[in-house]
Each structure stands twice: as structure tokens, then as C-alpha cells.
Amino acid sequence: MAKPVLEVKNLKMYYFTSRGVVKAVDDVSFELKKGEVLGLAGESGCGKSSLGFTLMNMPTPPGKIVGGSIKIDGREIVGLPENVMRREIRWQKISMIFQGAMNALNPVYTVGYQMIEPLLYHKGMEKEEALNKAQRYLELVGLDPEIVYRYPHELSGGMKQRVVIAMALLLDPEVVIADEPTTALDVIVQAQIINLLKKLKKELGLSMIFITHDLSILAEVSDRLAVMYAGKIVEIGDSQKVYYEPAHPYTQRLLSAIPRLHEDVEKLEFIPGQPPNLIKPPTGCRFHPRCPYAMQVCKEQIPQLTKVDEDHYAACWLL
Amino acid sequence: MAEPVLRVENLKKYFPIKRGLLGALRGEPHRYVRAVDGVSFEVHKQEVFALVGESGCGKTTTGKLVMKLLEPTDGKLYLNGQDVTELKTQEEVKNYRRHVQMIFQDPFSSLNPRFRIYDVLEEPLLIHGIGETRAEREELVYKALEMVKIVPPEDYVGRHPHMLSGGQRQRVAIARALILNPTFIVADEPVSMLDVSIRAEILELMKDIKERMGVTYLYITHDLSTARYFSDYIAVMYLGRIVEMGPAKVVIDNPIHPYTRALLAAVPEPIPERRNIIKEVPIKGEVPSAVNIPSGCRFHPRCIYMEKGLCDVKHPQLIEYEHNHWVECWLAGKI
């Protein structure tokens, strides 16, 4: 069996706000194998983007990692000093494709200038050599290499997203985190970006964490799927198993809430109520106030991830 | 056949682009963004008519024209058979808006943050002089909130919008549109800002309201899956024109126009076992600007079936390809 490139154990990241402690990532554990795409699904506010930033060891203030471990290629990164993170880990071992490519690029520098920055600082390359490398990566993502001389406003949304992807790959990281990489794009451009990510996965053997709220997109790319609710992973496993035999009531509901393009659906299901406040999450299972099957034990004790099938786990007292 | 609730004939909206001083001195011609460029359709009672397309295709502009938030450059607009293209007085516009209401995309900015929910809902009543006493208006406000399942309404009327969740805000926005008892509602991407589970809830609510109050919808969206679920008819827009139109199921299961086909191929399919297959989207290039619209068929530079000498020269007309299924393509039926 392939060794995991990323191991996350009991990770906790809380936001310390004046109103109280927001438990955005609460006791999350999972592994990512080499060449695998792990889809991370959940609704807004469930902590999926917070988890993405935490994996880069840069939680957005006032967030702090309060416990657990993140190992990339066997090396622990929680607790590493910032200068070591910057010099040795970030972008080289783990990189990120940001949400909303529109705003991820600096409008006053050329594409090339912002792309080669890490090459100059991390690798000590000469400018010429670095630009060459940047051009090679732009070609890899299906762009004209001449784009290095252009400014972001001269590019379309889809092109900017491709630039952002090329930037994330530039230092050949072990793990790439893609945070809603297609959300602001039109359907056709979105499909083209998904195709690009599929191609890169095949050609470069990318290991990727793909974060989005859209389960249809996740089904297109993920080998494994994790569903988050209120700061916790409630179900994780082989994507076909999670998709076709969802074990957790939340996953089941979420899947039946999506209208299908080629199927007649009489009535869409929906989940009554709203996601909980993470300052004072519900006791026991965090989904119990919205769960149609809630029992006494659900209100009192937190369920742990238990095995449903080979490579399929869910956290629910009903199992 | 019964008179349609809304009939739109050859509607156009051109936005002028400012020439610089230099341009004016040189006598350069005026240039326009042709946002909506000759759109015709009909919406019948208690039907949902969806306008589908990518950003910049003119679907929202069409919605605003129907709402009379914009004046058309050309074309006609009929509500229940009455010509409403030109409403002269403020009074006429006000009267029109009693019958035609709108639900906006973003419930976080469409409700005044300084109003209580009660004020949000009472405002249209005050404007239109409905309900003589406060007690009467209060009754109407409570009823509207119950209609959108904000219950019990007593708990919510005193709150401000920031105290509600996104789904609840959108329901308040729907209640505000319903309180005047309109015949026609323009819903511009009403669920695209909401989470999946809440999205389904709002669509169900809008469906329920259609049945109970007999309203007719113009549903503007970029999402083909919700369009298929929610609407009876779908019109696909590209660069200001309707390129294909017909019953929702027909358009989605048997698309004729190459653009509709590309759009449908691009919708992600929730079939995980096919995850390693790269499915090409049958389209070239990117959307051109609505200032320089391509000659002939405006889709020809991106079309993979383009026939030289025909598609790039002559403009195709919207023809009835089969009963009630309209397509604007020279090659309809041949590809």
C-alpha cells in the first residue's frame, strides 16, 4: 500500500473571537495517499476552507491550531517556526489553489513577475531561468507562454484560474489544496478547469485535496470523499461508496437535495433548520437537532468515525 | 390558446459606450454593448419560464427590462395582452409593479439592514396604499410570513435582517414580493447564493407558492439542473439572443443547438466511477464581447460544426424545429 503523503491526526483549529471560541476544525483526522484526490464537501461555515488554510499551517487570524498533528511526507509541521514553514514547507511541500482567481493575482505586476517570485527566493534561480520555468508551467496548464508578460486584467477568468493553478504547481509540491477552484466560473469554463485538473492528476500524479460545496463536481474528480459538518468529518471513504451508499443521515440528505440534470425528481428533499453556531455547538452529535433519526444517545455523546465497509467510515450512532 | 401573461416581442437593449473626447473629435461612430439583441418569448399562466445562460449573455438585462427597471431600446412588452412597453407616468409604473415583482439574487444585500422584518414587508403596502389601519397591514404581513414558512411570525417581525440566516432572508425577500399579490414574479438567480440543502427548500417553497397563488415566474439562472427541475420552458441565451427554446425536458434531453449541447456537456455529472475520464466540451475559444458581435451566426467562431460561407455570413432565424421547440441555427437537424 502506498504511503500517505499527508497524515492529519486529531487536528483542532479554533478562532478566538471576542464573542467566544469558534471551533471551526474540531478533531479532524484523515490521510491522503500519493496520486489521490480527496474531495472535501460541506456547506458554508462547516470549516472546510478553514481546514484548507490550517493544512498550510496558516490559519486566518484570530485562528490558532490548538492541537493535533499534520505530517507531510512524514514530517510534522504543526509547531514549526514560521521562517522554517516559509523556507521549507509552504509551496514546496504543500501549496494551494485559491478560491476566486479574480482576486488572487496582484493587478499591478505582470503574471511572470508574480509567478517567478518563489523561484527566485526559494530556489535562488536567475531571472531568465525562472521565467523559462514559469513558461513551461503555463504551457502545462494550456496557456500561451507569452502570458508571462501580460497583466492580470488582460486575461479572462478561466485564464486567471489557470495561472493560479500553474503557480501552485511551480515548486512541485507533494500536496495541492484546491479551495473552490471553480466557484466563480461559468459552467463551460468550469468544465475545462476540471478537465485540466484531471489531466494534471494523470500526468503528474498530483495528490490533491479538493474543497467545494458542490457534490457533483466532487464526484467528477475525487477518488475519496470526506463530508464535513460543523467542524467535523462525519463521513469519509471511497467516493463511489459514499456516493451510492451514504451512511450518515447528513450525507444522505445532502445528496438527495441536488436536482439532477437527466432525472425526473418529484420533490427535492431538504434539511430543515440551519447549521449550528460553532461557538456553542450542540452537545453529542452536532447534526442531531436537524436529524430525523435522532435518539437520546445522539444528544449526549459524540459519535466517532466507525467502519461501515472497507474504506468507508461514518460518525453516527445509528450504525 | 389563452392570452399569455407576458409576451415579449423583439426586445432590444443597447448600452452606449462613452467615446473619449478624442474619439468625438475624430468623429468615431457611437459604439454599443448589445446586451439584449432581439428577444421574443411568451410566458403563460402559472408556468415557469427559465432564461438560462452564462454570465454576460443578457439574461439579467432581459429580467430588468421585464421589471421596467430599464427602458428597452426597441421591441414590445405585453402584460395580459396590454402593451406596457411605454409607461409614461410614475403612477403607471407603480401600478405595473403591483402586478410584477422581483426576487433578487443576494438576500444579504436585497434587504435594508436598518429595517426590521416588519418594516421590510410593510413598505410595499404603504407605497401602494394597501390596508387602511396598522392592524390590517399587520395581518397582511403576518400572513405573508406564514406563507413563506417563517413561523411563528411574531418571533421574526421585530428582528433585523442580520439576525436571520441566508435561507430565512431569501424567504423574507419572497414574502416581500408576494405581499402585493402579484401575477408575475421575476426571480433572478434566487438560489445561487444559497447552500445546497437550503436551495432545495427555497425551490420547493417557490413551487408551492405557484400552485397556491397561481403566480407565473420568469426564472433567470445559469444552473441547468435547477432549471430542469423548476421550470416548464427553457430558453437558452447566448450573446443577447435566444438560441434555443422549448419545453424544459425536450431542450435538456434533446438539445439541437451546438451551444446548448456544449452547455449541457459541461454540467458536472455525479457519476464517480467515470471520474478519470476527461470529457471534452464541444466548444472553441471564449465568449466574445457584446460590443463586437461576430458576423452571421454569433456563435460561429466557437462552433465546431461551423460551415464556411453560411454560418459566418448569414444570420440564422429562430425556427420551429419541431412542435414548440425553437432553434436558431443553420444546421438544425443536420448535426
| Residue A162 counted as domain residue | no
Mean pLDDT over the full length of chain B? 91
| Residue A179 counted as domain residue | yes
Q: What average pLDDT does this structure show over B152-177? A: 92
- Asked if pLDDT for residue A1 goes beyond 70, the answer is no
Q: What average pLDDT does this structure show over A145-161? A: 90
* Probe site for chain A from B52, B197, B207, B261 (most A CB atoms < 10 A): B197
C-alpha B77/C-alpha B41 separation (Å) is 10
Domain hosting residue A220, numbered range: 4-81+93-104+174-314
Find how far residue A226's CA is from the centre of its chain. Answer: 10
* Confidence label for A260 from pLDDT (cuts 50, 70 and 90): confident
| Residue A73 counted as domain residue | yes
| Residue B19 counted as domain residue | yes
Contacts of A260 in chain B (CB under 8 A): 225, 270
- Asked if pLDDT for residue B31 goes beyond 60, the answer is yes
| Residue B333 counted as domain residue | no
Q: What average pLDDT does this structure show over A26-44? A: 92
Contact A268 B200 (CB under 8 A): yes
Asked if A10 and A69 touch (Cβ cutoff 8 Å), the reply is yes
| Residue B15 counted as domain residue | yes
A289 touching B (Cβ < 8 Å): no
pLDDT value of position A259: 83
Query: Which one-letter amino acid corresponds to residue A66?
Result: V
pLDDT, tens digit (0-9, with 9 covering 90-100), for A266-312: 788 888 877 888 888 899 999 999 999 999 999 999 999 999 999 99
Please name the residues in contact with B268: beta carbons below 8 A apart, sequence gap of 6 or more: A190, A191, A194, A214, A216, A217, A219, A220
Domains held by chain B: number: 1
Contact B165 A187 (CB under 8 A): no
- Asked if pLDDT for residue B50 goes beyond 90, the answer is yes
Q: Which residue of B has its CA nearest to A155?
A: B286
pLDDT value of position A28: 94
Q: How many CB atoms lie within 10 A of CB B249?
A: 13
pLDDT value of position A232: 93
Per-residue b or e along B168-203, where b marks 16 or more CB atoms closer than 10 Å to that residue's CB: bbbbbbbbbbbbbebbbbbbbbbbebbbbbbbbbbb
Q: What average pLDDT does this structure show over A121-145? A: 90
- Touching B: A residues 229-258, CB under 8 Å: 239-240, 243-244, 253-254, 257-258
* Confidence label for B1 from pLDDT (cuts 50, 70 and 90): low
Q: Which residue of B has its CA nearest to A39?
A: B272
Peptide bond into B152 cis (omega under 30): yes
Asked if A72 and A94 touch (Cβ cutoff 8 Å), the reply is yes
pLDDT, tens digit (0-9, with 9 covering 90-100), for B108-134: 899 999 999 999 999 999 999 998 899
Contacts of A221 in chain B (CB under 8 A): 275
Of the candidates B198, B270, B281, the beta carbon closest to that of A216 is on: B270
| Residue B326 counted as domain residue | no
How large is the ipTM?
Answer: 0.86
Q: What average pLDDT does this structure show over A314-319? A: 92
- Give the closest residue to B34 by CA, choosing from B6, B15, B49: B15
| Residue B135 counted as domain residue | yes
Q: Which residue of B has its CA nearest to A256?
A: B197
Q: What are phi and psi for residue B22, nearest 5 degrees?
A: -60, -45
CATH of the domain at A56: 3.40.50.300
- Asked if pLDDT for residue A34 goes beyond 80, the answer is yes
pLDDT value of position B5: 94
Domain hosting residue B175, numbered range: 6-321
Mean pLDDT over the full length of chain A? 90
Q: What average pLDDT does this structure show over A186-202? A: 90
Asked if B175 and B185 touch (Cβ cutoff 8 Å), the reply is no
Say what percent of chain A tops pLDDT 90: 59
CATH of the domain at B110: 3.40.50.300
Contact B262 A254 (CB under 8 A): no
| Residue B1 counted as domain residue | no
pLDDT value of position A230: 92
* Confidence label for A101 from pLDDT (cuts 50, 70 and 90): low
* Chain B positions with Cβ closer than 8 Å to A: 54-55, 165, 167-168, 195-201, 203-204, 222, 224-226, 228-230, 252-253, 262-276, 278-281, 283, 286
Which residue spans within B202-322 are E strands per DSSP? 216-221, 233-238, 241-247, 319-322
Query: Grid cell 396598522 — which residue?
Result: B134
Q: In what order do the strands lie in the sheet with A207-212?
A: A94-97, A175-179, A207-212, A37-41, A224-229, A232-238, A312-314, A306-309
Tell me the whole-structure pTM to 2 decimals: 0.89
Interface A–B counts its CB contacts (< 8 A) at 125
Q: Which residue of B has its CA nearest to A190?
A: B266
Choice between A277 and A16, residue whose per-residue pLDDT is larger: A16
pLDDT value of position B241: 95
- Asked if pLDDT for residue A100 goes beyond 80, the answer is no
pLDDT, tens digit (0-9, with 9 covering 90-100), for B214-269: 999 999 999 999 999 999 999 999 999 999 999 999 999 999 999 999 999 999 87
A119: its cell numbers: 523561484
pLDDT, tens digit (0-9, with 9 covering 90-100), for A200-212: 998 888 999 999 9
- Asked if pLDDT for residue B171 goes beyond 60, the answer is yes
Domains held by chain A: number: 1
| Residue A153 counted as domain residue | no
Contact B197 A199 (CB under 8 A): no
C-alpha B97/C-alpha B124 separation (Å) is 10
Q: Which residue of B has its CA nearest to A191?
A: B266
pLDDT value of position B292: 87
Of A259-268, A279-288, B98-107, give the lowest mean pLDDT range: A259-268
Q: Which residue of A has its CA nearest to B272?
A: A219
* Confidence label for B18 from pLDDT (cuts 50, 70 and 90): confident
Asked if B195 and B202 touch (Cβ cutoff 8 Å), the reply is no
The gap between the terminal CA atoms of chain B, to the nearest Å, is 33
Asked if B170 and B202 touch (Cβ cutoff 8 Å), the reply is yes
Say what percent of chain B tops pLDDT 90: 71
Indicate the DSSP class of residue A99: S
- Asked if pLDDT for residue B161 goes beyond 80, the answer is yes
| Residue A75 counted as domain residue | yes
| Residue A63 counted as domain residue | yes
The minimum CA-CA distance between B280 and chain A, rounded to whole Å, is 8
- Give the closest residue to B44 by CA, choosing from B83, B89, B80, B86: B80
Contacts of B230 in chain A (CB under 8 A): 259
| Residue A125 counted as domain residue | no
| Residue A68 counted as domain residue | yes
Peptide bond into A62 cis (omega under 30): yes
* Probe site for chain B from A183, A186, A202 (most B CB atoms < 10 A): A186
| Residue B331 counted as domain residue | no
pLDDT value of position A98: 83
Q: What average pLDDT does this structure show over A167-188? A: 89
C-alpha A119/C-alpha A61 separation (Å) is 27
Contact A222 B275 (CB under 8 A): yes
Which residue spans within chain A are E strands per DSSP? 4-17, 20-33, 37-41, 63-72, 75-76, 94-97, 175-179, 207-212, 224-229, 232-238, 306-309, 312-314
- One-character DSSP codes across A152-219: GGGS-HHHHHHHHHHHHHTT--SEEEEESTTTTS-HHHHHHHHHHHHHHHHHH--EEEEEES-HHHHH
- One-character DSSP codes across B114-176: TS-HHHHHHHHHHHTT--SSHHHHHHHHHHHHHHTT--SGGGTTT--GGGS-HHHHHHHHHHH
- Asked if pLDDT for residue B61 goes beyond 90, the answer is yes
Of the candidates A194, A243, A259, the beta carbon closest to that of B226 is on: A259
* Confidence label for B24 from pLDDT (cuts 50, 70 and 90): confident
pLDDT value of position B242: 96
* Confidence label for A2 from pLDDT (cuts 50, 70 and 90): low
